[in-house]
Amino acid sequence: MAYDYDLIVLGSGPAGQRAAVQAAKLGKRVAIVERKKMVGGVCLHTGTVPSKTFREAVLSLTHVPTFANGGPTDRPRPTMEDLLHRVNTVIERELDVISRQLGRNHVDLLSGSASFIDAHTIHVEGSPHDSQLTAEFILIAAGSITAPPPIEADHETILSSDDIVTLKTLPRSLAVIGAGVIGIEYASMFAELGVDVTLIDRHERPLDFCDNEIVDELIHQMRMKRVSFRLGEAVKKITGESNPKRASIELESGKQIMVDAVIFSIGRIGATAELALDKVGIAADDRGRLKVNEHYQTEIPNIYAAGDVIGFPALASTSSEQGRLAVCNMFGVDAKPAGAGFPYGIYAIPEISMVGATERELTTKKIPYEVGIARYSEIARGQILGDDTGLFKMLFHRDTRALLGVHCIGTQATELIHIGQAVLALGGGLDYFLDTVFNYPTLAECYKVAAYNAANKLRSDRFVAAK
Instruction: Give the C-alpha separation, 160 to 258, whole Å.
Output: 18
The residue type found at 63 is H
Q: How far does CA 452 lie from the centroid of its chain?
A: 32
Q: How far does CA 410 lie from the centroid of its chain?
A: 17
Grade residue 68 by pLDDT with cuts at 50, 70 and 90.
very low
Per-residue confidence (pLDDT) for residue 67, from 0 to 100: 43
Long-range contacts of 150-153 (CB under 8 A, 24+ apart): 150/235, 150/238, 150/264, 151/238, 151/240, 153/264
Residue 35, pLDDT > 90, answer: no
Per-residue confidence (pLDDT) for residue 75, from 0 to 100: 57
Instruction: Give the C-alpha separation, 163 to 176, whole Å.
Output: 13
Angle at 435 (CA atoms; ends 391, 370), nearest 5 degrees? 45
pLDDT digits (tens, 9 = 90+) for 180-239: 999 999 999 999 999 999 999 999 999 999 999 999 999 999 999 999 999 999 999 998
Instruction: Give the C-alpha separation, 246 to 157, whole Å.
Output: 6
pTM of the model: 0.89
Task: State how beta strands 173-177 and 344-346 pair.
Answer: unpaired
pLDDT digits (tens, 9 = 90+) for 80-132: 998 888 888 888 888 889 889 999 999 999 989 999 999 999 999 986 657 89
Q: Three-state DSSP class for 139?
A: strand
Task: State how beta strands 173-177 and 158-160 pair.
Answer: unpaired
| Cβ pair 181, 94 in contact under 8 A | no
pLDDT digits (tens, 9 = 90+) for 148-177: 877 776 778 889 888 888 888 999 999 999
Per-residue confidence (pLDDT) for residue 64, from 0 to 100: 56
Per-residue confidence (pLDDT) for residue 326, from 0 to 100: 97
pLDDT digits (tens, 9 = 90+) for 402-458: 999 999 999 999 999 999 999 999 999 999 999 999 999 999 999 999 999 999 999
| Cβ pair 153, 24 in contact under 8 A | no
Per-residue confidence (pLDDT) for residue 466, from 0 to 100: 43
Angle at 364 (CA atoms; ends 359, 366), nearest 5 degrees? 90
Per-residue confidence (pLDDT) for residue 167, from 0 to 100: 87
Per-residue confidence (pLDDT) for residue 37, from 0 to 100: 64
Instruction: Give the C-alpha separation, 446 to 448, whole Å.
Output: 5
| Phi/psi at 174 (5° precision) | -150, 140
Q: Please list, in sequence order, all residues whose beta carbon lies within 8 angstroms of the beta carbon of residue 272, skipping any fewer than 6 positions away.
A: 140, 142, 284, 288, 289, 290, 309
Residue 74, pLDDT > 70, answer: no
Instruction: Give the C-alpha separation, 324 to 333, whole Å.
Output: 11
Per-residue confidence (pLDDT) for residue 32, from 0 to 100: 96
Query: How big is the chain by its Cα radius of gyration, in Å?
Result: 24
| Cβ pair 159, 264 in contact under 8 A | yes
Find the DSSP H helices in 236-379: 316-330, 359-364
Lowest-pLDDT range of 63-72, 192-201, 213-222, 325-334: 63-72
Determine the average pLDDT of the residues in 326-345.
Answer: 89
Residue 66, pLDDT > 70, answer: no
Average pLDDT, the chain: 90
Instruction: Give the C-alpha separation, 444 to 286, whole Å.
Output: 43
Name which residue leads in pLDDT, 39 or 396: 396
Determine the average pLDDT of the residues in 269-285.
Answer: 95
Instruction: Give the C-alpha separation, 420 to 187, whole Å.
Output: 28
Instruction: Give the C-alpha separation, 212 to 362, whole Å.
Output: 13
Instruction: Give the C-alpha separation, 416 to 272, whole Å.
Output: 36
| Cβ pair 5, 110 in contact under 8 A | no
For residue 210, the number of C-alpha atoms closer than 13 Å in the C-beta half-sphere is: 27
Domain architecture of the chain: domains with CATH: 5-146+269-330 (3.50.50.60), 158-266 (3.50.50.60), 350-461 (3.30.390.30)
Determine the average pLDDT of the residues in 257-262.
Answer: 95
Residue 467, pLDDT > 50, answer: no
Per-residue confidence (pLDDT) for residue 242, from 0 to 100: 78
Q: Following CA atoms 59, 65, 71, 72 in sequence, which dihedral angle do they give, to the nearest 10 degrees?
A: -50
